Amino acid sequence: MKTYFKGTKVLRNKGSKVGNRSRTKSIFFALFSIFFTLISSAQQQDSTKVNQLDDVLVSAVRVTTKTPVTFSNMDKKEIKYRNLGQDIPVLMNYLPSVVTTTDAGGGIGYTGIRVRGSDATRVNVTINGIPYNDAESQGTFWVNMPDFASSVESLQLQRGVGTSTNGSGAFGASLNMLTDSYATKATGEISSSFGSFNSNKNTVKFSTGLMNDHFELAGRLSTIKSDGYVDRASSDLKSYFLQGTYVGKTTLIKALVFGGTQKTYQSWNGIDAETLNENRRYNSAGEYTDEFGNTRYYDNETDNYNQDHYQLHWSESISDKWSTNFALHYTKGKGYFENYKPDALMAEYNLAPAGDVSETDLIRQKWLDNDFYGTTFSAKYKDEKLDMILGGGWNKYEGDHYGKVIWARNASTSELGDHYYDDFSTKTDGNIFAKANYQFTEKLSFYGDLQYRRVRYQANSAETGLVDDTFNFFNPKAGLNYAFNEKNTLYFSYARANREPNRTDYEGGNVKPEKLNDLELGWRFNSEKFQLNSNVYFMGYKDQLILTGRLDDVGNPIRSNTDKSYRLGLEVDATIALSEKFTLRPNFTLSSNKNVDLAVDGEYYGTTKIAYSPEVIAGNVIVYKPIERLYISLLQKYVGEQYMNNIELPSAKLADYFVNDLNVSYEIRPNAIFKSITITGMVNNILDKKYVSNGAMWDIYPYYYPQAGINFLAGLTLKF
């Protein structure tokens, strides 16, 4: 869920703050106007020498096999076979060291991802190099961008610290996504899918192609709906994507507007062990007992949020060796979640009773109204031996948090629209970096990466207190890449990372920044029929903010600093072409994830396993292609047992699970009307495994998030 925070009313001079925000955004949008004017007046030139979008938009944050960084790629072709409405984390489920979960149990709605045991707050996400993580919670809320996979050209997941990037520092992984490239010819696409739990997705896409060899306009509209596997865990999601592209001989300019709106019935409470055995689809959200003793459910116990993104990218090829990229971005988010609260203390909601009562049933809304804007920039130099990038970014977050009571059973003297808490926070995040690959010899290259990052966070609420903290981080990285021959490459790297606490950490009093030293040793083998990537990693932490397994009253994970901890692991993934028809893509991770000399609330526990960090994670994709354009894939995922807290309580253990999915895709290319007709089917959990992928602890009592048994999705895509 999002970071809607409660607190008490805070008296402050809102006029000056609002005025400052208004002036800042006016200046920001003025810059947008200037750049759009430049687009319209740009000289038309031949487009044949324009760099590919991968180079001009994400080269500052992506790596290649010449860089000593551990990573995996997914392209549009691989995504489309399973793009039937499920969120991006679910589509990434079969990558090495990845564990995914979903609150509603069916892959639609709120979904989460962990990499090497690190949760989503440690996975740095960028879209075309622009930060996406929520500035305060540091999490990523994919539900705010439904069907975004339909607009992704490719994505790269870097495991470990990775390369310097924009936004919050990576502590487990970096995920950078590149949106759709431009099309040279006009295209159209209509796709629909349906499946279990009344799930359905409808998408329309178009592109004008390059008009006058220079301008393209493309867009997408999508709707996704699902009742969810869990009771009442419904989702009603809508999204859009619109981009304009100008292509010149040395210039590429892209303007993007995309966003979404979502309404999801809350399903983040989980269920206890007894309910898991008796009714695994039960959902307690919205449950209350009326005045006659009847159990009822509030029909609008929902999360509601709108988010709109604006991006402008200008890439210029100055010479054969120099190129630059400059971007502006702005994100507007606003929404609330709504709860029915029985027997609430009126004083907690600033309600002055009209009579002799102190409690009331009421309906509350917790609101978040935020603005996030800034710039990223880079300059790239490349010759025969040196590949160097200088870059950085500056971003600012401004967020209002407030709560409203929209109904109460007992009368009070309050007015409609009154806030029972009202606080404000800002976060400014700036960084500069320089990174280079230098080819010493034909076989040996050196990678260096230096980043300075400055963060200032200010907040005022009853939970955080008055916060005004500034962090200065220096994050060096270095490595060697040695190519024994055309097939074999060995790499070694060291990376340092620092990361600030998030808002929930301040509420819990855990305000020490985290520190990480990441060592990676890898071997890559590449031949025509066999590709292998293997690496050993050691991630040593100081003051790591580990998940405790507990949640606060609005579902945010509670973390605490542990003095020393580490993650040591082996990752292996391969692609094996057995024949022209059969391909195997196995991967596995073996790891040890430990807290060293752990102490909790003054009690010493020694060396223990880090919560939510399975020691074994394995995946496999078996692809069978019996005829041209027919693909049959068996997708397999094994996740070993894991603890939901750090003191290894037997009751806190999540059992291991092994899940199999079947994916079929067949493309028809008719001679008329349509260029392509694609029929796609997905049977998830074909063995009907009853499993749990996530949970939480209420004191010593476990609560679970069950995932769906066997279920299906089927789709049809028409391209013309």
Query: Domains of the chain: which residue ranges?
Result: 14-719
What's the pLDDT at 25?
53
Give the C-alpha separation, 679 to 695, whole Å: 36
CB 175 within 8 A of CB 41: no
CB 188 within 8 A of CB 717: no
Task: Please enumerate in sequence order all residues whose Cβ is within 8 A of that of 23, keeping only pairs 6 or more positions apart, or say none.
Answer: none
One-character DSSP codes across 553-595: TTSPEEEEEEEEEEEEEEEEEEEEE-SSSEEEEEEEEEEEEEE
Strand partners, 376: 327, 393
What's the pLDDT at 20?
52
Give the C-alpha separation, 161 to 140, whole Å: 18
What's the pLDDT at 325?
93
Which of the 8 DSSP states describes residue 443? S
Residue from 379, 371, 286 nearest 337 by CA? 286
CB 531 within 8 A of CB 575: yes
Which of the 8 DSSP states describes residue 62? -
pLDDT tens readout for residues 604-646: 999 999 999 999 999 999 999 999 999 999 999 999 999 999 9
Give the C-alpha separation, 496 to 540, whole Å: 10
Question: Which CATH superfamily groups domain 14-719?
Answer: TonB-dependent receptor, beta-barrel domain (2.40.170.20)
Q: What is the pTM of this model?
A: 0.91
What's the pLDDT at 98?
96
Residue from 571, 564, 520, 568 nearest 546 by CA? 564
What's the pLDDT at 57?
66
Strand partners, 274: none
Name residues of the chain where pLDDT drops below 70.
Answer: 1-57, 60, 167-169
What's the pLDDT at 382?
93
Buried residues in 552-589 as b, exposed as e (16+ CB within 10 A): eebbbbbbbbbeebbbebebbbbbeeeeeeebebbbbb
CB 59 within 8 A of CB 327: no
pLDDT tens readout for residues 215-273: 999 999 999 999 999 999 999 999 999 999 999 888 999 999 999 999 999 998 999 99
Q: Which amino acid type is present at position 91?
A: L
What's the pLDDT at 36?
44
Which of the 8 DSSP states describes residue 442? S
